[in-house]
Amino acid sequence: MSLPIPSDPRSAAPAPPASPAVGASPHPALTSRSILGMRVDVTTYADATARVMAWARAGQGRYVCASNVHMVMETSDSAEFRDVVNGADLVTSDGVPLVWALKALGVPQAERVYGPTLMLHVCEAAAREGVPIALYGGTPESLEEFVLFLHANYPGIEIACLIAPPFRPPTPEEDAYYTQQLVDSGARIVFVGIGCPKQERWMAAHTGRLDAVLLGMGAAFDFHTGRVRQAPAAMQRLGLEWLFRLFMEPRRLWKRYAKHNPRFVGRFLLQLLGQKIINRGRRASRD
């Protein structure tokens, strides 16, 4: 369902992060690495924000994935989903284990570009530049709360459209109606919060139908309104965010982590071993 946009901000919302400098376009080519067959780009908050804003100002249909171990393993299990993620215009290293993986693959400057934090940088830039945004996902209540948060932290931000789709797959008629709402709103940035892998598939299917940049944000709406607690910073730095989330939602998440985490570690170690063998063979052939 679509929602009216509340106008009264909350004064108790936390302060926004320092805004990144938005660079000029065109941007230099990204360094990327394949992690179990899924592309991950080496970027920063400033670089990713600059790219998103340049695409948005130009009215280009693009999509951005914020990748973590869950996404890597979903792509490892599905060639179709791997094509969806690898077809994105930007794939950030949302999870700390992927930053470690990038460094192990020879990119020492790799850093985390966490989706919920990237969202705030983009909102700050959108408010400053007058670029309208839209929110797709969540519930009517969570969207209303998040709008209040945005108005409090980014005065003047233009929120052109709010859509809380059903948790079941929308019917073709519903999907066409929501898509037309986004088109008619004039939004140039759409934050999509319907969870992995559903949101990535939705973005890939709708990029050609919208003159907007689509960013898959997962639970970011609920994180920023306090509906869902984020892991403490120390646990995030140690790559233990999954453990905190498991503690908070054990019944929903235990199967995911039990299935994906051990396989990721084992398969990535095999990838590193295979890469070392290949590199050793190349050096030997040159000698």
Query: pTM above the 0.95 mark?
Result: no
What does the chain come to in residues? 287
pLDDT tens-digit map of 133-167? 999 999 999 999 999 999 999 999 999 999 999 99
CA distances from 281 to 272, 275, 286 (A): 14, 10, 9
- pLDDT confidence of 13, banded at 50, 70, 90? very low
CA distances from 36 to 77, 85, 275 (A): 10, 13, 12
pLDDT tens-digit map of 185-203? 999 999 999 999 999 999 9
φ, ψ for residue 132, nearest 5 deg:
-70, 145
Q: In this structure, are strands 133-137 and 62-67 parallel, antiparallel, or unpaired?
A: unpaired
Pick the more confident residue, 20 or 140.
Answer: 140
Type of residue numbered 43: T
Q: Where are the domains of the chain?
A: 31-225, 241-286
Q: Where are the beta strands (DSSP E) in the chain?
A: 31-35, 38-42, 62-67, 90-93, 133-137, 159-163, 189-193, 213-216
Q: Reduce the secondary structure of 200-226 to three states and give it as a string.
A: HHHHHHHHHHCCCEEEECCCHHHHHHC
